Chains A and B, each alone.
Chain A
Amino acid sequence: MKQTTLFFATSIASLFAALSIATAADVKLTEQSELGKSVKDIPVAAHWIYDDLAKAKAEAKESGKPLLVVLRCVPCPPGKTLDE
């Protein structure tokens, strides 16, 4: 009985996960580096610069905008709360 419940719960969760991926697919994403792909990093929205601090510094200097630098150790499991 418990296993059946778990199976249905998992199926429903998978369905919702699939739906949210479809929604996320509408969002423009930034291209990841080869390293990002190899560590299976999450998709990152297009307003983020990917793993290129020099580019971000230059852009901040030019635009006068402040910098937000996220330092993420992707292979380490902690931190998923904020990635998700």
Chain B
Amino acid sequence: MQPDKELEAIEKQFVCVRIIQTKGLDLGLFQYDYDMSWAAMFLAPDLTIYGRYGTRNASGPGSDSLLSAAAFKKAAERALKLHKGFPGNKGQLAAKKGKTPDYPVPEKTPGLEERGQGETTRQKCIHCHMVKEFALRAKWEAGKLSPADLWVYPMPERIGLALDVDDGLLVTAVEKDAPAAKAGLAAGDELVSAGGQPLISTADFQWVLHTSSADAKLPVTIRRGGKTLEKTIVLAGNWKERSNIAWRASSWYGLRQGLKVEPLSATDKKSRGIDEDNLALAVKGLFGKGAPKLQAAGLCNGDIIVAVDGKSEDLTESAFLVNLRLNHGPKDSVKFTVLRGEKKEELAIPMW
């Protein structure tokens, strides 16, 4: 949004609005990856959705690695093309709108009601990630949390596709034997539509994957060397699961409740006398509202968690957090075995 004449000319073909907080946002319409700190949606004047922009799969220095001004421009240009074909293409766009959400606006989500009251200030802002975060927490507290709530907006890599960051829809690589390869997709192809929905960006393709069932035959239209081809990607099994979700800000209250852990390197495991295949997660921080319960149960910064409920199977931070929330309810207690210096301790931690 800083001066860029080419982008400005594209932007001026839209009514542009910058929204900096989500209070009052119609969640029936604005469904996107809420863990994005910068996301865009393109819509017709009657609010039919043309598409989404914004993809992320990391926190820290790599947070913005999948954002690109070039791909944003392309998404905007593709949205303008859809606008030219509107309303004739309205039927194809219908599935870009999601199902009725659990809460119509963010401030109706348990835990966010107070932020909905009065004037929105810096302290009372409802951040995008909070929309997901508090909904996850409410589901967990109601005993209704499921894997589908956790593994959202799958990356195209989950089905063996790598897409160009500066284009969004250009296939740069296809993983051997993965569903995309079996469907006959190849590097150099351009995705045009998926599941019958015209695509404008990687985020749009993620939306199709997000809303697709795990077992599905997904029709895709591609462009290859000037030709338009129809392919079918056969999806089956748990391809949506097991990806890293620890980067998601929504994990903070929803899953980790202030507990930050980091896997020990192979060298550190060896120096601590921990088997290579054994769980070894170093406690790197106890933050926020969850911290007092963890501290009261005896967990300390620097502890190395080597078993959970007696199981010492090695886990990533993401898998550790997911297992805790999917396998335990709010009234449960979980047993952590931790190494503190040379000493092994058993801690009974009430789920927090």
A contact residues vs B (CB 8 Å cutoff): 23-24, 27, 33, 35-36, 38-39, 41-45, 47-53, 55-57, 59-61, 63-84
Interface status of B191 (Cβ within 8 A of chain A): no
Interface centre among B18, B46, B69 (most CB of A within 10 A): B18
Q: B64 and A73: CB pair below 8 A?
A: no
* A53-B64 in contact (CB<8A): no
CB-based nearest B residue for A78: B63
New contact pairs (14) apart from A35-B122, A69-B30, CB-CB < 8 Å: A33-B20, A41-B20, A50-B17, A63-B15, A65-B14, A66-B45, A68-B14, A69-B41, A70-B18, A70-B19, A72-B37, A74-B20, A78-B36, A78-B56
Point out the residue from B11, B67, B128 that lies within 8 Å of A81, measured CB to CB.
Answer: B67
Interface size class of B (residues with CB under 8 A): 35 or more
Let me know if B121 and A38 touch, CB within 8 A. yes
Query: Whose C-beta in chain A lies nearest to the C-beta of B46?
Result: A61
Interface of B is mostly: loop
Query: With a CB–CB cut-off of 8 A, which chain A residues contact B324?
Result: none
Q: B39, A70: Cβ atoms under 8 Å?
A: yes
Whether B3 sits at the interface, judged by CB under 8 Å, is yes
| In the A-B complex, the 7 residue pairs with the closest CB atoms | A79-B38, A78-B63, A56-B17, A81-B64, A79-B37, A68-B14, A76-B37
**Interface residue from A38, A60, A80 paired with B64 (Cβ < 8 Å):** A80
CB-based contact A66/B125 at 8 Å: no
**Which B39-67 residues have C-beta < 8 A from chain A?**
39-47, 50, 56, 59, 63-64, 67
Q: How far is the CA of A46 from the CA of B111 in the complex (A)?
A: 36
For A43, what are the chain B residues with a Cβ–Cβ distance below 8 Å?
A: 2
Chain B residues, Cβ within 8 Å of A33: 20
Residue of B nearest to A68 (CB): B14
- B127 adjacent to A66 (CB under 8 Å): no
Q: Judge whether B30 and A71 touch: CB under 8 Å.
A: yes
Chain A residues lying within 8 Å of B15, measured Cβ to Cβ, are 49, 56, 59-60, 63, 65-68
Please, which residues of chain A bring their CB within 8 A of the CB of B321?
A: none
Q: Is B17's CB under 8 angstroms from A67's CB?
A: yes
Contact between chains at B63 and A71 (CB < 8 Å) = no
Shortest B58–chain A CB gap in Å is 9
CA distance A47 to B232 in the complex (A): 42
Closest to A80 in B: B64
On whether the beta carbons of A83 and B20 are closer than 8 Å, the reply is no
Residue pair A71, B22 in contact (C-beta under 8 Å): yes
Taking CB atoms, residues of chain B closer than 8 Å to A35 are 20-21, 120-122, 125
Residues of A within 8 A of B20 (CB): 33, 35-36, 39, 41, 51, 72-74
The answer to whether B17 and A69 have CB atoms under 8 Å apart is: yes
* A22 to B: closest C-beta gap in Å: 12
B1 partner residues in chain A, CB cutoff 8 A: 42, 44-45, 48, 70, 83
Which residues of chain B are within 8 angstroms of A51 by Cβ–Cβ distance?
Answer: 17-21
Q: Which residues of A contact B120 (CB under 8 A)?
A: 35
Residues of A within 8 A of B25 (CB): 53, 71
Pairwise interchain contact B32-A71, C-beta atoms closer than 8 A:
yes
